[in-house]
Amino acid sequence: MLNLPRWQVISIIAITTLAAVFALPNLLPGSVLDKLPAWYQQSRINLGLDLRGGAHFLLEVDLRSVLNERLTNLSDSARGELRKQQIGFKDVTVQNGTGVEVVLRDASQRGKAIEALHSIDPSLQIGGDGDIIQLAFSNQDLVRRKKEVIDQSIEILRRRVDETGTIEPTITREGDDRILLQVPGIKDTTELKQKINQTAKLTFHLVNEEVAQAGQNIPATLPPTTFLAPTREGMQALKLANPKAYEQITTANPRMSPEQVCRRFQPPCLPVFKRIVVGGEDLDDAKATFESQQQGGRPIISFTFNSAGGRAFCAATRANIGKRLAIQLDNQIISAPVVQSAICGGSGIITGQFTPQQTQEQALLLRSGALPATLTIIEERTVGADLGADAIHAGALAAVVGTVLVILFMLFVYGPLFGGFASLAMLVNLLLVLAGMSLLGASLTLPGIAGLVLTVGMSVDSNVLIYERVREERENGRSAFSALATGYDRALTAVIDSNLTALIAGVLLFGMGSGPIKGFATSLTLGLLTHLFTATVFTRMLLAVWVRWRRPTELPV
C-alpha cells in the first residue's frame, strides 16, 4: 500500500503544482497581476453579487399574453382559410385565453371546415359539435412554447445587459414562469430597469383607412381584423396633460392593451389591421444615426431586414402605394408614413420626435431583439459594495482562524509529523478548490465562503479516521510498516462512504438549488472531491516517502 510507483509520485506532484499555478491569480495583488498575460489574469474566481455588490431582480414572464397573441393569430388564420375554401361562418372569436370558437353558417360544411382548419396547424385539437367548432393548442405544444418563451427571454436579456457594458450577469430560470437576473457591480438600477421593462417589439401594420376616415369618431365596435393603437405623440401629450393616467397605464399589471388605452383615456389613436406585414424578428440590424442636413439633421433609426423580411416588406409596399404603413414599437405607433413607392432595398428608417439618446436606446433594444412577453419585476434587491467588502473580510478572517485552529488541533493530537502531514494536505486541498473554481469560472458567494470554511474542517476528517485506525493496528501488535499499510486499507472504505454521502447531498443542492445555495454547493462539492485526493493519495505519498527515508520501528502518532 505504501510502495508507490514513481509515475504515481510524479503525477501527484504535477497535479499539486498545476493547482498552485491556477490558484495563484486569486492570491496575487492587482499591481502584480496586471503585469502577467491577459489569459492568465482571467483565470480567477468571480465574486458573486453578495460580495461585489450589484442588483438582484426576480422577473415574472407574462405567458398568458403570449397565448392570447397566438390565439388571435390563429383566429385571423382561421378566417382567411375559411374564406379561401368558401366556407360560410357567422363568427370567429377568442375564448378567454383557452381557444378559438368558430360558428358556421351551415353545419353540413363542418367536415370541410375541419379539414381546412387542420391545414393551418395539424397539431390543433378540434372539438365542438354541430355548427360550432372549437380550436385549442395541445398541452405538449403549450409546454414547448412556454419553454421557448422563457429561453428566448433569457437570451435577449443577456444580450441587452452585456451590450450595456455590465460584467458577467447571472440569468437563470426560476420555476415555470420566472427569471432570476443578477448583475454585479451596478449601483444605479434605473437604466437597467428601463431595459427590462421595454419589450422592444417592432411590427409594421397597414392603417385601416375606412375606419380612420371617421377621425376621432371611431365606432364603438371595430371590424374583427382591426384594433386601435395610440400614437407616440398622443401618449406624450397625455403624459403632460394627465400624469396620473399615464403612470396608471405604464404601471398597470397586467399591462393594458393598446385598444384599452385608446378607449379609456382617449389619446390620439389610429385603427390598424391586426395582420403583421413584417415583424421585428426579421430585423437584421438597427443603428442610431442622423438625417442629412438638407433634410433637417434629425436623429433617426436606420434598420435592415434579413432576406425574408426584405421580400415581405417589398411586396407589402408595392401592393399598398398611397396607403399609410404604421410602425408600432411597444404598443405605440411611432410613425405612420404614406407609402410613396415600393421599398425593395431591404432597409429603411424610423423617424419621429427622438432625442439622440432615445435613438441609441431604441436601436440597442431592436438589435438585441424583442422580448416575446412582458417581464414584471416582482422582487428587487441591491447590495452595496461596502457590504461585499465586509463580507469578504469576515469570510477571509473566519477561514484563516478556522485553518489555524485545525492545524493546532492536529499537531496537538497527532504530533508534529503526522499532524503536519494532515495540515499540509488540508492546505493543498484549499489550493485545489481555488484552482477548480478558477478553471470552472465559478462565482464565489458568501455561502461559498462558508462552504470553504466547512471544507477546512472536513478536510482532516479522513486523516483522523486513518490515523485512529493505524493506532488500533499498532496496539494490536503489528509492526510500524504493517500498521500503516493495514490502517490505510481498512480505513479506506469508511473514508469513501462518509465522503460519498456528503457528495450526494452537495450534488443535489447544486442541481436543485439556486443563487446562494448553488454557491455553497459548488465550494462544498469541489472541496469533497479534492479532499478524497489529498487524504487518500497526497497524504499516503508523504507517509510513503517518510517510511522509505526513516525506516521507523515506532510511529509518532
Nearest one of 306, 311, 304, 309 to 342, comparing CA atoms: 311
Q: Identify the band that residue 391 occupies on the pLDDT scale cut at 50, 70 and 90.
A: low
Q: Identify the band that residue 516 occupies on the pLDDT scale cut at 50, 70 and 90.
A: low
**Is residue 370 predicted with pLDDT exceeding 50?**
yes
Report the alpha-carbon distance of residue 319 to residue 301 in Å, rounded: 25
* Helical ranges in 269-384 per DSSP H: 307-319, 356-368
Can you say whether the dihedral through the CA atoms of 511, 516, 520, 522 is positive or negative?
Answer: positive
Please name the helix (run of DSSP H) or strand (run of DSSP E) that holds residue 492, with its range, or none.
Answer: helix 480-512
Please check whether residue 285 is in contact with residue 303, taking contact to mean a CB–CB distance below 8 angstroms: yes
Percent of the chain with pLDDT over 70: 90
Tens digits of per-residue pLDDT, 312-347?
A: 888 888 888 888 888 887 788 887 888 877 778 777
Radius of gyration of the CA atoms of the chain, in A = 34
Percent of the chain with pLDDT over 90: 1
**Is residue 59 predicted with pLDDT exceeding 50?**
yes
- Tell me if the domain spanning 198-379 has CATH number 3.30.1360.200: yes
Tens digits of per-residue pLDDT, 284-310?
A: 777 888 887 777 778 888 878 777 788
Tens digits of per-residue pLDDT, 140-184?
A: 888 888 888 888 788 778 777 766 544 567 788 888 888 988 887
Q: Which CATH class is domain 6-53+386-550?
A: mainly alpha
**Is residue 480 predicted with pLDDT exceeding 80?**
no
Q: Residue 60 gets which letter from DSSP?
A: E
The residue ranges of every structural domain in the chain are 6-53+386-550, 64-142, 198-379
pLDDT of residue 166: 46
Fold of 64-142: Alpha-Beta Plaits (3.30.70)
Tens digits of per-residue pLDDT, 398-442?
A: 778 888 888 898 888 888 888 888 888 888 888 888 888 888 777
Please check whether residue 137 is in contact with residue 70, taking contact to mean a CB–CB distance below 8 angstroms: yes
Report the alpha-carbon distance of residue 197 to residue 26 in Å, rounded: 37
Place of cell 450595456: 164
Residue 218, classed as helix, strand or coil, is coil
* Helical ranges in 198-257 per DSSP H: 209-212, 232-241, 243-251
